[in-house]
Amino acid sequence: MTTSPAPAVGWLASVSLDCPDPSALADFYGALLGLPRAYESPDGGVVSLSDGGMAVTMMRATDHVRPTWPEPGQQQQLHLDILVTDLDDAVERSIALGATEAAHQPAPSAWRVLLDPVGHPFCLTTVTGD
């Protein structure tokens, strides 16, 4: 027996990333995802990128601690999965934008783990679930 899910209270509008410099990280994700700046607070502490859909938002955290995942210490906190058509090309282009390839690659034929300029892990993948 299947039950229908309850009506949603709302919808996901943004994924927010803590970082020391929202403008710099917005430049990275804007280029990586092809998203324009949709909002910037007057003090520059919050920068949102969006093309009218869900936003990616960078928020200043003066005490930001770079993740050390998969090593002990500071866990990954959050990561994004970014769908691409060619893993090798996407890795190369991401590195040119300022990403670094993570040493730990649990399933490199399906996902490539990279780190953004402030250490947040993100995955490039060709897996669609189809």
Place of tokens 């490039």: 124
Which among 89, 116, 112, 111 has a CA at the least distance from the CA of 100?
Answer: 116
Residue 24: pLDDT band with limits 50, 70, 90: very high
DSSP letter for 75, please. Answer: -
**Segment 67-88, tens digit of pLDDT:** 777 777 766 567 677 888 889 9
Backbone angles phi, psi at 99, to 5 degrees: -75, 165
CA distance 22 to 52: 20
Distance CA 83, CA 38 (A): 22
Q: Which helix (H) or strand (E) holds 40?
A: strand 37-40
